[in-house]
Amino acid sequence: MTKQISPERKGLYSFGLILQVIGGILFGVPFIYVPFKLMSDDMPGPGVMLVAFIGFGLIAGGGIMRGIAAKGVAGSGLVLDPEKAREDLEPWTRMGGGMVKDVLDEADIKVGSGSSGPEKVIMIKCRECGKLNEEDSKFCQECGKPL
């Protein structure tokens, strides 16, 4: 079951990224333009700040588009359909599970049907002091009395 992200979602993600880049450029233009304009003793017009607001709007709109494209319509919460949300988010959950599996493999931790589980340890309690001792101990490790 290898589901891929649809080309439409990839396109929407790329378009949102392009909008964010254009918005960042437009947002930054007044910060470069105004100091040069002030050095020449001219006052910049009010349209310069409008460019910054338009740029900020493009950055926000592009971010929203990228979020919807990355998680899908249902996965981002625009449509309340749990089954569709699971389908939209499946590539990301598979990726997260793969990352967890990689970490467990690297730590050499066995999980699943092939794992042996935790090793059972039997301890013997000393009648004198109550200390738990290993099962092959003949004398208490705390008080030294015979077990």
Q: 144 and 85 in one domain?
A: no
- Categorize the per-residue pLDDT at 17 as very low, low, confident or very high, splitting at 50, 70 and 90: very high
Number of neighbours of residue 27 by Cβ within 10 angstroms: 18
Residue 2 lies in a domain: no
Confidence of residue 113 (pLDDT cuts 50, 70, 90): low
pLDDT value, residue 90: 83
Judge whether 84 lies within some domain. Answer: yes
Half-sphere exposure of 119 (CA within 13 A, CB side): 3
If asked whether residues 71 and 138 sit together in one domain, one would say no
- Residue 39: which domain range? 7-106
| 102 shares a domain with 136 | no
Q: What is the rounded average pLDDT of the residues 29-47?
A: 76
Is the backbone of residue 117 left (phi > 0), alpha (psi -120 to 50) or beta?
A: left
Clarify whether residues 129 and 86 are in a common domain.
no
Which pTM value belongs to this model? Answer: 0.59
Q: Classify residue 1: in a domain, yes or no.
A: no
Q: What is the mean pLDDT of the chain?
A: 84
Q: Are residues 84 and 53 in the same domain?
A: yes
Whether 51 is covered by a domain: the verdict is yes
Domain count, the chain: 2
pLDDT at 24: 96
Regarding whether 66 and 13 lie in a shared domain, the answer is yes
Q: Which residues pair with 125 in a beta bridge?
A: 132
Residues 72 and 131 in one domain: no
pLDDT in tens, 79-110: 888 888 888 888 878 778 888 888 888 887 77
34 and 102 inside one domain? yes
Per residue in 119-139, pLDDT (tens digit) is 667 888 999 899 999 888 899
Q: Are residues 56 and 88 in the same domain?
A: yes
